[in-house]
Structure 1
Amino acid sequence: MNTKILRNLAFTIFTCYATLAVSASPHWSHDEQATWWAIQDPTQNVPLNYPFGECGIGKHQSPIDLGAATINDSKPLSKLAALYGTDTAPVFFNSGHGVQVNTSTDYKGALMIGEESFPLIQFHFHEPSEHVVKGKNFPAELHYVHINEDGRIIVLAVAIDIGDENPIFGTILENTPHEENGKNASAGIQINPAQLLPADLDPANLDYYTIAGSLTTPPCSEGVQWYLLPKVITVSAAQLEQLKGFYTNNAREAKDLNGRSLLSSQ
């Protein structure tokens, strides 16, 4: 399956982030996340008129409280490598729910899990973080979204703390439109997504935690495998305020583990 088809498939699955979509989804916001499951689509018949039902009935929902999870480091895990490289034509996109960068049609960057390749489709930001540690949020969180040819979704998550200014993050903020669904495809700026990874981790051999989960926005579909890095990246306090100028509190609350544990590569 070629890269363009993969991206179209990803845009269909990620209705909340899509630049292309088969049909419009019902409106939702983070303010009403407790009742996402009850949002109706009047254009559909029962039971499809509750397209976000999994947000309420799902048992493997994301995000989670990492501090509440049992960590299992006894199982051998596959090598994780973020082989991203430079994208020469990224699209800076305001999804209506967050700041996002869509990779270009010909972009070859991917996350390697063992011998499997998962192309990087887009990456986006939440403020504050979605994953928490003993109830405490980080200031923000970065999600790299990948999908392979059989439709499996992988999300690589990186916590963001306040510290040194982040030049790549600044470039993204400066080039993202402020209007909902606005996109900037002609900035002429090259972005290497790997430059947003923690500097003290080797992109070609990442330490990580992993857990089965879901999309963190409607339709909250399960079957998403999450990979969470043990190190943070930093942005300046001024950059965090700039991010808030787009969206604030665009984070889902932590969900029950329901017997899940974190697997650790360390």
Structure 2
Amino acid sequence: MKINKIIFIGTVTIFYLKIGFAFSGPHWNHEEQAHWGAIEDTSQTEVPLMYPYAECSIGKHQSPIDFAAAEINNEKKLNELRIWYDIDIAPIFFNSGHGVQVNTSLDYRGEIEVGEESYPLIQFHFHEPSEHVVGDKKFDAELHYVHVREDGKILVLAVVIEEGKESTTFQTILDNTPGNGGDQNENTGIKIDPASLLPSSYHHRGDFFSITGSLTTPPCSEGVAWYVLPEPITISTAQLEQLKRFYTSNARQPQDLNGRVVLTK
């Protein structure tokens, strides 16, 4: 089953993107996602600082979404999406406390180009099951490539995942991710090619869906530009079970569209 694209622009720092959006706010988990906006920061005494995740509840452009419920517009001219991922010779395998993640090295030069704009890849991570859905269809998992520019603009490229053929790159990630939240595994000598997790038919450019949204975890900051590719990648049943041993159900439920339209090329 195919779906397409998303654009994601935010106002978060490179630091907490690198650590999986686990910035120094109050504790949260996916089981209580319906109440993220009401979580209090007891170190603060004034509103709105007492409610650092309020946007999760009051935001109008939240992610993820249900594509089956969205109006699709294929008439607006969109910039080309060009993916240029190099091999990372020193990736950092990171357990964010909420998901399996790979942080790119400081000298890594992989990026995405949208029109004349370039967005460096700083990390990629996994959710189980998928966050974006198509009606009643949830995919087995979802991969998010997170890109951030020096001016704070963020682009996220999403790829849905289905059970099927084993992924060699994904196995390397699973085998090198620490078991404890907050731990990282660096200086392994292992090289990772992020492009090896893209759909085989995509190459450097292709079709996509695009919609403005938010971070899918607290603080749920909006102004995010998302791209979603139409073709799933696959991992084996054994690999999916191994992913679940790290985290299961670490996916946010679809959010209201509130008039947003999905653009497609």
In structure 1, the residue matched to 2:13 is 9
Which amino acid is 2:167 matched to?
Answer: N
Following superposition, the deviation at residue 206 of structure 1 comes to 2.4
Q: Distance in 1 between matches of 2:172 and 2:252?
A: 26
In structure 2, the residue matched to 1:5 is none
Task: Indicate yes or no: 2:124 matched with 1:123.
Answer: yes
Q: Distance in 2 between matches of 1:38 and 1:14?
A: 26
Which stretch of the first structure deviates more once superposed, 130-139 or 214-223? 130-139
In structure 2, the residue matched to 1:3 is none
Q: Note closer, same or farther for the CA distance 1:39–1:14 as it changes in structure 2 (3 Å cut).
A: farther
Following superposition, the deviation at residue 241 of structure 1 comes to 0.1
Q: Distance in 2 between matches of 1:214 and 1:252?
A: 12
* Structure 1 alignment gaps of length 5 or more: 1-7
In structure 2, the residue matched to 1:147 is 148
Q: What SS does structure 2 have at the residue aligned with 1:245?
A: helix
Task: Indicate yes or no: 2:241 matched with 1:252.
Answer: no
Q: Distance in 1 between matches of 2:35 and 2:184?
A: 29
Q: Distance in 1 between matches of 2:25 and 2:247?
A: 20
1:129–1:141 contact (8 Å) kept in structure 2: yes
Following superposition, the deviation at residue 138 of structure 1 comes to 0.2
In structure 2, the residue matched to 1:43 is 43
Following superposition, the deviation at residue 15 of structure 1 comes to 6.7
1:16–1:218 contact (8 Å) kept in structure 2: no
Mapping for residues 1-266 of structure 1, pairs under 5 Å: 9-12=13-16, 16-18=20-22, 24-44=24-44, 45-202=46-203, 204-265=204-265
Q: What SS does structure 2 have at the residue aligned with 1:218?
A: coil
Q: CA RMSD in A?
A: 1.3
Q: Note closer, same or farther for the CA distance 1:139–1:240 as it changes in structure 2 (3 Å cut).
A: same
Q: Distance in 1 between matches of 2:98 and 2:33?
A: 13
Q: Distance in 2 between matches of 1:167 and 1:16?
A: 23
TM-score, with structure 1 as normaliser: 0.92
Deviations 1:235-259 (A, max 9, x none): 0000000000100000000001111
2:18–2:123 contact (8 Å) kept in structure 1: no
Q: Distance in 2 between matches of 1:41 and 1:116?
A: 37
TM-score, with structure 2 as normaliser: 0.93
Q: Distance in 2 between matches of 1:124 and 1:255?
A: 20
* Structure 2 alignment gaps of length 5 or more: 1-11
1:37–1:50 contact (8 Å) kept in structure 2: yes
Which stretch of the first structure deviates more once superposed, 208-217 or 8-17? 8-17
Following superposition, the deviation at residue 11 of structure 1 comes to 1.9
Q: Distance in 2 between matches of 1:65 and 1:135?
A: 9
Q: Note closer, same or farther for the CA distance 1:258–1:155 as it changes in structure 2 (3 Å cut).
A: same
Which amino acid is 1:25 matched to?
Answer: G
Following superposition, the deviation at residue 14 of structure 1 comes to 6.9
Q: Distance in 1 between matches of 2:136 and 2:147?
A: 27
Deviations 1:72-110 (A, max 9, x none): 000111010110110000000000000000000000111
Relative contact order (C-alpha < 8 Å, sep 6+): which is higher? 2
2:17–2:123 contact (8 Å) kept in structure 1: no
Following superposition, the deviation at residue 261 of structure 1 comes to 1.0
1:16–1:217 contact (8 Å) kept in structure 2: no
Identity value in percent: 60
How many aligned residue pairs are there?
253
Q: Distance in 2 between matches of 1:199 and 1:15?
A: 28
Q: What SS does structure 2 have at the residue aligned with 1:195?
A: helix
1:15–1:25 contact (8 Å) kept in structure 2: no
Q: Distance in 1 between matches of 2:167 and 2:20?
A: 26
Which amino acid is 2:74 matched to?
Answer: D
